[in-house]
A and B are shown apart, each in its own frame.
Chain A
Amino acid sequence: MTGRRTSTALLRDRRALAGGLLLAAVAATALIGPLVLGSPAIEMREVVARRFLVPLARTADGAFHLIGTDRFGRDLLARLLLGARVSLAVGLLAALASLGIGVVLGAVAGYAGGWSDRAIVAVTDAALAIPRVPFLLLLVVLFQPGLGITVVALGLTGWMTVTRLVRAEVRSVRVRPFVEAARALGVRPARVLVRHILPHALTPALVAAALGVGNAIMLEAGLSFLGLGVQPPTPSWGNMIAAGRDALVIAPWVALAPALAVAVTVTAFNLLADALESAIAGEGSA
């Protein structure tokens, strides 16, 4: 399967289109929104008069709140958009870290073989047996909860699928004639791996990474929901849901808005990954 055929299959896939459009919309509002709205996301004024305003509310001084306000009278929309930046950044960075670790380990295991292969496979299997959330909780609490450790912990716990895919692909490509030809021409092993073998292994790795972004966003929100991820007052979708939990009964929109944002964004990434997977398998949209 050549890259061009994969990308045309992808362009014709409705799931890819829907996922891509959703994602573009989320990313665009996250980038532009806070610039337009200014910074009512963190500041608190006249809490009593402004807290828990219903969606579409207009205050006496003319401030308009599209999806209402939270317990401190902060504009929910502004917080949601600022939180989108945090959540998307954490998800992308964590998936990139996982992709990096996974590609390196998978390439080494698949190309070198022997004891390094066995060791990497053993570590991968062991890591897969550890349920991710309990282990994440462990990592995050061990090193003070915060933005940085959340990214590192998510990256450190998400590389196994990538490793397996890359290893399998490298092993199957390694014995193909063009690799032998490259080696016969005297190309150094490292260069054979990077220039001739790895490009073939990258597409499945990208699918795993796309799914990884959605997962990482969901997990970041989960950690923040437990109070162990991004710390207030920095808004993230997870700690916004957690803050809305106490007011679930009197102001359900406070928790509902960020929850919907997580669901929509994760759906977009899942749709993209699904489409990418079928495009690589060459079957089109089923």
Chain B
Amino acid sequence: MRASLAKRLALAVPTLLLVLTLTFVGLHLAPGDPVRLFLGPTADAAAEAAARQAFGLDRPLAAQYGQWLGRFVTGDWGTSIAQHRPVARVLADAVVPTLLLTGLSLLLSYLGGLAIGAVQAARRRSRLDAVLTAVTTGLYALPTYVLALGLVLLFAYGSVLWGWPAQLRFPAIGAQSVGAEFLSPAGRLADRARHLVLPVLTLAIVGAAGAARFVRGSMIEALRQPFARTARAKGLAERVVVLRHALRNALVPLIVLIGLQLPALFSGVVFVETIFAWPGMGRVTVQAVLARDYPVVMAATAVFATLVVLGNLLADGAVALVDPRARSAA
């Protein structure tokens, strides 16, 4: 098992290298010019040339790529053209809020998905199953940003308008309230938690709908297997067959699914962070893209891809933990 993980790690390196190369080539093929954007339309040719030289944009593309790659691997990600700060610092500030957001919503969405899918598989072809299928299919097709706007309308605006209790009113902007630094430590924590509710809920609902659809299918499949028949034949309660036998077998493909769904989750994060002004990677990427801030965009894409590759490695490891068969197989 250790050998196969090492092999996967070794395979991840060329993958990341390809990602970086694709990003670099794409960025430099594009018509936009960061120097003009940086200096504004009134700058003269001399200032432009100076800036171009300062950013190293006057050198041949291959040299720029080599230099950038060398620095990138050693952790020097350059300076943000728009923010005048080291890129590594910009992204370090952003990656923690994003991991918090995605981690919490992953947890919630898979717990919710497991529960819904298990209920549906146990009560297959019942009215409850039909209703839940309709609901999850609909939610699965609902764009993240639409759900986000709906939640804002309900819990940030409607809750105040209709006089709902204060526990049901949630902030829709940012990661903390204005002046939160003057609150007590406990108050600050509570303030942070309240700001997390709507963005996490948005991602978790979409994720749970997708996971439930998947869990239902793989649980029904597991309940058809001979081991489920054996478990029933020896007189186990249906409840035990579903929870102990079928659920455990449906877990393996679900863990693989988490790894495969990570890119989609990070795509959803872009919209959610933009709508809720959440100070994470998605929002930083959108802002950097709009400002043609090359170093930030490239590093952000690389960090996103690294997170995906790492997430898949983690999923592989988790599968090996849960499923003894995966330990011996390559």
**A residues within 8 Å of B by Cβ?**
122-123, 125-135, 137-139, 141-144, 214, 218, 221-222, 225-226, 228, 241, 245, 248-249, 252, 255, 259, 262-264, 266-267, 270-271, 286
Contact = CB atoms under 8 A, between A and B. Distances in A.
Contacts of A134: 266-267, 270, 282, 285, 300-301, 304
Interface residues on B, range: 35 or more
Given A125-B15, A262-B146, A266-B141, A141 B267 contact: no
A225 B270 contact: no
B308 interface: yes
Given A134-B266, A141-B292, A286-B220, A270 B282 contact: no
Chain A interface mostly: helix
B267 A241 contact: no
Contacts, number: 138
Given A225-B271, A252-B153, A266-B141, A135 B301 contact: yes
Nearest to A266: B141
A129 B305 contact: yes
B141 A138 contact: no
Given A122-B15, A249-B157, A267-B141, A144 B282 contact: no
Given A131-B304, A142-B27, A248 B152 contact: yes
B104 interface: no
Contacts of B14: 122, 126
A126 B25 CA distance: 15
A245 B138 contact: no
Contacts of A266: 141-143
B140 A221 contact: no
18 contacts: A122-B15, A126-B15, A130-B305, A130-B308, A131-B266, A133-B271, A143-B30, A144-B31, A214-B141, A218-B141, A221-B143, A225-B143, A225-B145, A225-B271, A226-B271, A241-B146, A248-B152, A264-B141
B141 A270 contact: yes
A128 B145 contact: no
A248 B151 CA distance: 11
Given A225-B271, A263-B142, A138 B23 contact: yes
A263 B139 CA distance: 8
Contacts of B266: 131, 133-134
B278 to A, nearest CB: 15
B289 interface: yes
Given A137-B286, A143-B31, A286-B220, A131 B263 contact: yes
Contact of A142 (B29, B138, B150): B29
B207 to A, nearest CB: 15
B32 interface: yes
B309 interface: yes
Given A123-B18, A126-B19, A132 B264 contact: yes
A35 B14 CA distance: 53
A263 B15 contact: no
A259 B300 CA distance: 29
Given A131-B305, A134-B282, A266-B141, 11 more contacts: A129-B263, A130-B19, A132-B263, A134-B285, A137-B289, A142-B30, A222-B143, A222-B271, A226-B271, A241-B149, A249-B153
